[in-house]
């Protein structure tokens, strides 16, 4: 014991945990000094608890992945049972649970999306989707949207249209092309022109890049961390038509929008289309174990009936992750979580409509099921954002105050630039939503003070 340790009072458990984490681990997407993470002791339903027994309402389901809520012991039991039988087999061996999970996924996926290639996370689903699209079509270019996120490995980061990739710009992979897709709130040329212009813009990019060079278009099933920037009505159907016309594959990234988050199994089901591949992760195991899946159509899979499929991962179809996923899928059904997401989403919409009247800083609220985002502005007429796109730390002063208040009042959620995300676990109740909206309302009052009085 050094002299300081003798003089100072002993550290609390929370302080010790924080110290060890900060001394020996690195934190994603942030400066390493000056951060103040919550030390989580346990989770139960929609709540997280820290070492001082403070309760936090988890209004972003972790990173929009803990869809069934925290601490569900059915998953623990399923995982333990599988571990007691066999914890690992090579992807060349098979297990009962791997086949059962593949069959279940084929049942919930529409059309001929019947073959599952199991991965480790969202990024590895995306990497394999892109690799397979190029192999299958013999083409090299991939088109995707600015203001999208598909993961942080090199290829997934390149295909993303997220400013998180700008610090590693020099490491971007070749043959990725991004297109801009406006969203209604910030579109100034009439709603009736939004779809037409969006489709025309994409058509031009396809023509410029050469349709015969384009392997796939990759889009999120519903926009997530870029701000829930919803598609113009009818847009995805038009994209599907363009893909059909030019022999381009359509890959939907359902990593965040999948598994009930939008009130349907998959976000694209709100748009009446069927893609050629679906990238999955997050809600597949509700974050209980890291896992992902690339679901492919029979047509694509069929090409590899008599040819080698050049994809592989040591942990593909990991039996314990398969067991967690299979149980989580049963929970979605047994607890009617898709239906609840739709109903509770409408309840949040109603609450938000009231909040909009009360708070001058709420510029826009966008939501599908329980994938929602509040956009704060300094002025409802000019729509000047409370913090700009890719805000620098000194531009986040007001939003940081709002975020600090949210946490102080006992909520964990995702605040980015001028966005506050509302994406609680799908098991949430009306009372818990009321509790959450009251916290957000109180915190947003801070931002209201920065809106000039007219």
CB closer to ligand PLP out of 286 and 432: 286
CB closer to ligand PLP out of 152 and 445: 152
Residues lying near ligand PLP in the complex (CB under 6 A) are found at 63, 121-123, 126, 149-151, 220, 224-225, 253, 255-256, 281
Residue whose C-alpha is closest to residue 113's, from 303, 241, 295: 295
Pair 286, 328: CB distance under 8 Å: yes
Q: What angle do CA 216, 284, 276 make, to 5 degrees?
A: 20
d(C-alpha 100, C-alpha 107), whole Å: 11
CB closer to ligand PLP out of 97 and 255: 255
d(C-alpha 180, C-alpha 392), whole Å: 22
314: helix, coil or strand?
Answer: coil
CB closer to ligand PLP out of 276 and 360: 276
CB closer to ligand PLP out of 28 and 381: 28
d(C-alpha 428, C-alpha 342), whole Å: 11
Closest approach, Cβ 355 to ligand PLP, in A, equals 26
**Assigned token pair, 231:** 């598609």
Q: Describe the chain by its helix, strand, coil percentages, rounded to 5.
A: 45, 15, 40
Closest approach, Cβ 145 to ligand PLP, in A, equals 11
Strand partners of residue 412: 58
Closest approach, Cβ 257 to ligand PLP, in A, equals 7
CB closer to ligand PLP out of 132 and 439: 132
Closest approach, Cβ 360 to ligand PLP, in A, equals 31
Pair 226, 116: CB distance under 8 Å: no
d(C-alpha 407, C-alpha 103), whole Å: 42
Q: What angle do CA 80, 84, 90 make, to 5 degrees?
A: 105
Closest approach, Cβ 354 to ligand PLP, in A, equals 29
Closest approach, Cβ 30 to ligand PLP, in A, equals 15
Per-residue DSSP letters for 202-227?
HHHHHHHH-GGGEEEEEEESS--TTT
CB closer to ligand PLP out of 62 and 351: 62
Q: Nearest residue to ligand PLP, using CB?
A: 122
293: helix, coil or strand?
Answer: strand
Closest approach, Cβ 319 to ligand PLP, in A, equals 20
Q: Could you give the dihedral angle defined by the CA atoms of residues 116, 122, 123 and 129, in that order, rounded to the nearest 10 degrees?
A: 30
CB closer to ligand PLP out of 27 and 189: 27
In degrees rounded to 5, what are phi and psi of residue 227?
120, 25
Pair 331, 75: CB distance under 8 Å: yes
Separation in Å, CA 245 to CA 216, 276, 363: 13, 14, 39
CB closer to ligand PLP out of 14 and 63: 63
Closest approach, Cβ 228 to ligand PLP, in A, equals 11
Closest approach, Cβ 299 to ligand PLP, in A, equals 24
Closest approach, Cβ 105 to ligand PLP, in A, equals 17
In degrees rounded to 5, what are phi and psi of residue 248?
-95, 140
Per-residue DSSP letters for 80-123?
HHHHHH-S---TTS--HHHHHHHHHHHHHS-TTEEEEEEESSHH
CB closer to ligand PLP out of 370 and 451: 370
CB closer to ligand PLP out of 51 and 146: 146
Closest approach, Cβ 150 to ligand PLP, in A, equals 5
């Amino acid at each position: 014991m050094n002299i300081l340790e003798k003089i100072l009072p002993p550290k609390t458990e929370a302080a010790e945990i924080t110290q060890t984490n900060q001394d020996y681990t690195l934190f994603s997407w942030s400066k390493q000094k000056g951060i103040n993470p919550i030390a989580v002791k346990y989770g139960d339903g929609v709540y997280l608890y820290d070492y001082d027994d403070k309760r936090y309402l988890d209004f972003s389901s972790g990173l929009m992945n803990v869809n069934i809520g925290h601490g569900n012991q059915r998953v623990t039991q399923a995982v333990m049972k599988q571990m007691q039988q066999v914890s690992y087999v090579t992807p060349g061996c098979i297990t009962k649970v791997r086949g059962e999970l593949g069959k279940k996924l084929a049942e919930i996926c529409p059309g001929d999306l019947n073959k599952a290639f199991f991965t480790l996370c969202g990024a590895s689903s995306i990497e394999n989707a892109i690799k397979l699209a190029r192999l299958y079509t013999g083409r090299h270019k991939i088109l995707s949207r600015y203001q999208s996120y598909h993961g942080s490995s090199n290829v997934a980061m390149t295909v993303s249209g997220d400013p998180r990739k700008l610090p590693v710009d020099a490491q971007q992979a070749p043959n990725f092309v991004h297109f801009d897709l406006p969203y209604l709130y910030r579109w100034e040329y009439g709603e009736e022109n939004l779809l037409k212009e969006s489709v025309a813009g994409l058509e031009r990019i396809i023509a410029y890049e050469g349709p015969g060079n384009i392997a796939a278009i990759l889009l999120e099933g519903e926009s997530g961390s870029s701000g829930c920037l919803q598609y113009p009505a009818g847009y995805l159907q038009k994209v599907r038509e363009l893909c059909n016309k030019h022999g381009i594959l359509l890959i939907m990234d359902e990593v965040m929008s999948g598994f009930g988050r939008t009130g349907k199994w998959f976000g694209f089901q709100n748009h009446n289309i069927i893609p050629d591949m679906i990238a999955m992760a997050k809600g597949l195991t509700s974050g209980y174990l890291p896992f992902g899946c690339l679901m492919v159509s029979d047509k694509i899979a069929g090409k590899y009936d008599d040819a080698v499929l050049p994809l592989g991962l040591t942990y593909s179809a990991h039996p314990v992750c398969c067991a967690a996923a299979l149980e989580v899928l049963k929970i979605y059904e047994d607890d009617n979580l898709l239906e609840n997401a739709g109903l509770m989403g409408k309840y949040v919409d109603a609450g938000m409509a009231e909040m909009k009247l009360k708070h001058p800083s709420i510029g826009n609220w966008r939501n599908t099921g329980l994938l929602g985002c509040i956009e704060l502005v300094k002025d409802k007429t000019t729509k000047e954002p409370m913090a700009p796109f890719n805000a620098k730390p000194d531009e986040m002063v007001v939003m940081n105050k709002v975020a600090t208040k949210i946490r102080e009042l006992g909520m964990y959620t995702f605040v980015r630039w001028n966005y506050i995300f509302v994406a609680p676990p799908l098991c949430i109740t009306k009372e818990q939503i009321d509790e959450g909206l009251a916290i957000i309302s109180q915190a947003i009052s801070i931002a209201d003070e920065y809106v000039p009085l007219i």
